[in-house]
């Protein structure tokens, strides 16, 4: 029998206990022995939970119990979760987490600590919820140079953007609905300002660069709070959807780049039909070409699915190397300055200004996408971020990133 402990009995922590109970037979078949939740550490009591008698308030019950081989950290945040993770790893217990903030912030140190103590620090659930993405990226695509990642990695913002389009709601109305449905927090900043996506992109980029750690602070991030219903309606006109994308690129000889921003995504893209709380990540490797991973990026049981998958991995081979190469801090920033990253954008300006648009952007490759009574718009290819604002204001226009 393998004994584990769960730290933090919130939505995901409860999901982990539930999945282990629900699929105990199948999990035992995988593992060759039973998987048992021995302790659940939380400051609260849960008298009505079927797992009430596993609750403890004493962290020493977990960390001093030699029978506990794997610790699930579903506390969230980078404070108490950080301290507890260090304690568990120092005690030689593998830690499995869904905590993107902690992995993105302290991953380098925690992976090192796991290695030093002959155990694992696993985080498949930290990106894409239940969608297998961390292990496929690092293990299945290990033979590739990763050229590009483009992901819808935040379900809350995708739900809001989808709802603005389908129900014709303003951003504020759509946010309120998302909050009412429990898809957005009362303080929605981490989602709508792109911070959650930034952390996930930090994780994906660090893996794609074979462990060169890309800190969240390196990743220029724009959220969705400035997206208007007019943007959404215009996207529909030009056969696009508006999506908040996390972009990593390592296509040429320059530095790799990473940023988070709202995009017009062309309907023909595999990302365009990804609606509501679903997530999807496109990964392009230099051998495999483009692959995509799609599913529920959040939620109790989907996230628990990924956590428990990692628990099985850690139980089977506690002393093996973790499934990703450990990260390491590099001197200075790993990725290019935002100003120096090239991108494609769609610029729109008032009706009748197509000539002016073509004129002002004449040194770029452009393509007209709309010339109507309401406005006109062009795609501008390969423009540096630092050149965007000045040029766009010279035509009194608005712009968003564009992905084909």
Active site positions, annotated: 200
Q: Roughly what angle, to the nearest 10 degrees, separates helices 24-31 and 300-316? A: 30
Lookup result for tokens 């709601």: 169
Q: Roughly what angle, to the nearest 10 degrees, separates helices 300-316 and 11-22? A: 60
Taking the least distance from each CB to a second copy, the nearer of 198 and 249 is: 249
Torsion angle of alpha carbons 136, 202, 126, 119, nearest 10°?
80
Taking the complex as a whole, the smallest distance from the CB of residue 136 to a second copy amounts, in Å, to 4
Taking the complex as a whole, the smallest distance from the CB of residue 32 to a second copy amounts, in Å, to 9
Taking the complex as a whole, the smallest distance from the CB of residue 236 to a second copy amounts, in Å, to 17
The one among 311, 322, 334, 403 contacting a second copy by CB under 8 A = 311
Taking the least distance from each CB to a second copy, the nearer of 69 and 348 is: 69
* Neighbouring-strand partners of residue 383: 343
Please name the residues in contact with 134: beta carbons below 8 A apart, sequence gap of 6 or more. Answer: 123, 124, 126, 127, 203, 207, 323, 324
Cα separation, 169 vs 24, whole angstroms: 44
Cβ–Cβ under 8 Å, residues 186 and 159: no
- State the number of binding residues for a second copy (CB under 8 A): 55
Please name the residues in contact with 342: beta carbons below 8 A apart, sequence gap of 6 or more. Answer: 382, 383, 384, 385
Cα separation, 72 vs 395, whole angstroms: 54
Is 326 a binding residue for a second copy by CB under 8 A? The answer is no
Is 286 a binding residue for a second copy by CB under 8 A? The answer is yes
The one among 3, 10, 11, 23 contacting a second copy by CB under 8 A = 23
Taking the complex as a whole, the smallest distance from the CB of residue 243 to a second copy amounts, in Å, to 16
Please, which of residues 241-280 interact with a second copy by CB under 8 A? Answer: 270, 273
Taking the complex as a whole, the smallest distance from the CB of residue 17 to a second copy amounts, in Å, to 12
The one among 39, 93, 100, 135 contacting a second copy by CB under 8 A = 135
Q: Enumerate binding residues for a second copy (CB under 8 A).
A: 15, 19-20, 22-23, 26-27, 29-30, 124, 130-132, 135-136, 139-145, 210-211, 270, 273, 285-296, 299, 301-302, 304-309, 311-313, 316-317, 320-321, 325
């Amino acid at each position: 029998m393998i004994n584990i402990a769960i730290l933090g009995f919130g939505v995901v922590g409860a999901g982990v206990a539930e999945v282990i109970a629900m699929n105990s037979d199948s999990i035992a078949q995988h593992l060759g022995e039973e998987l048992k939740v021995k302790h659940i550490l939380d400051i609260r009591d849960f008298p009505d939970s079927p797992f009430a008698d596993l609750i403890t308030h004493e962290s020493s019950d977990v960390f001093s119990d030699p029978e506990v081989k794997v610790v699930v950290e579903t506390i969230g945040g980078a404070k108490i979760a950080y301290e507890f993770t260090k304690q568990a790893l120092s005690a030689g217990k593998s830690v499995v987490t869904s905590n993107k903030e902690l992995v993105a912030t302290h991953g380098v140190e925690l992976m090192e600590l796991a290695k030093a103590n002959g155990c694992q620090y696993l985080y498949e659930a930290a990106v894409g919820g239940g969608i297998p993405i961390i292990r496929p990226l690092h293990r299945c695509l290990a033979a590739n140079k990763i050229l590009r990642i483009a992901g819808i990695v935040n379900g809350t913002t995708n739900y809001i953007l989808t709802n603005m389009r389908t129900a014709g709601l303003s951003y504020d109305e759509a946010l309120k609905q998302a909050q009412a449905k429990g898809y957005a927090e009362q303080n929605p900043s981490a989602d709508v300002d792109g911070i959650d996506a930034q952390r996930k992109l930090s994780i994906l980029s660090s893996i794609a660069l074979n462990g060169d750690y890309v800190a969240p602070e390196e990743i220029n991030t724009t959220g969705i709070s400035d997206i208007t219903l007019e943007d959404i309606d215009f996207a529909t006109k030009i056969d696009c959807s508006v999506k908040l994308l996390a972009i990593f690129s390592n296509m040429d000889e320059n530095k790799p780049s990473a940023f988070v921003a709202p995009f017009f995504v062309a309907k023909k893209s595999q990302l365009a039909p990804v609606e509501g709380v679903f997530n999807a990540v496109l990964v392009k490797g230099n051998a495999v070409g483009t692959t995509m991973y799609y599913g529920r990026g959040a939620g109790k049981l989907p996230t628990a699915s990924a956590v428990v998958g990692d628990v099985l991995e850690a139980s089977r081979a506690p002393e093996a190397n973790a499934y990703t190469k450990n990260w390491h801090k590099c001197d200075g920033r790993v990725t290019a300055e935002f100003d120096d990253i090239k991108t494609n954008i769609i610029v729109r300006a008032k009706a009748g200004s197509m000539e002016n648009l073509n004129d002002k952007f004449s040194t770029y490759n452009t393509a007209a996408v709309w010339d109507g009574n309401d406005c006109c718009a062009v795609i501008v290819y390969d423009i540096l971020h630092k050149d965007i604002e000045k040029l766009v204001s010279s035509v009194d226009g608005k712009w968003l990133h564009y992905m084909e």
